[in-house]
C-alpha cells in the first residue's frame, strides 16, 4: 500500500488518539484490507507511523503519571509500579537484562 506523507502523518496523529486501525481506515478513506496488511509488516511506513503515534501518546501519559507519583499520588505510584513490573517482565522474557 502506497501512502502519501500526509496520510502517514494523519495515521500517526489518529493512532496517537488511540483510534483502531479500522477507524483510521474509515476516516482516511483507506482500503481496509490493504491498510491492515501494511500494519502487519513492521517494516512498512504505515506500521512505523501507526506505532509511533500510539507510542508517543503513551509516553506523554506515562510522563504525567510518573510526575504525579513523584508528588505522592497513591494511584500514580501504583501505576508506575505496574509499568516497572511490565518492563522488567519484558526484559526477562527477551533476555535484555544481564
Q: Show Cβ contacts of residue 6 under 8 Å, excluding neighbours closer than 6 positions.
A: none
pTM of the entire structure? 0.85
Coil/strand/helix, residue 95: coil
The per-residue pLDDT string of the chain (98 residues; one tens digit each, 9 = 90 and over) reads: 899 999 999 999 999 999 999 999 999 999 999 999 999 999 999 999 999 999 999 999 999 999 999 999 999 999 999 999 999 999 999 987 65
Between vectors from CA 48 to CA 43 and to CA 53, what angle results, nearest 5°? 170
Torsion of CA 22, 48, 41, 84, to 10 degrees: -90
Amino acid at each position: 500500500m502506497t501512502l502519501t506523507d500526509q496520510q502517514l502523518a494523519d495515521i500517526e496523529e489518529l493512532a496517537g488518539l488511540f483510534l483502531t486501525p479500522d477507524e483510521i481506515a474509515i476516516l482516511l478513506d483507506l482500503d481496509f484490507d490493504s491498510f491492515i496488511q501494511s500494519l502487519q509488516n513492521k517494516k512498512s511506513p504505515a506500521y512505523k507511523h501507526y506505532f509511533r503515534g500510539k507510542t508517543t501518546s503513551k509516553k506523554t501519559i506515562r510522563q504525567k503519571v510518573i510526575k504525579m507519583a513523584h508528588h505522592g499520588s497513591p494511584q500514580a505510584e501504583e501505576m508506575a509500579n505496574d509499568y516497572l513490573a511490565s518492563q522488567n517482565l519484558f526484559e526477562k522474557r527477551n533476555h535484555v537484562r544481564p
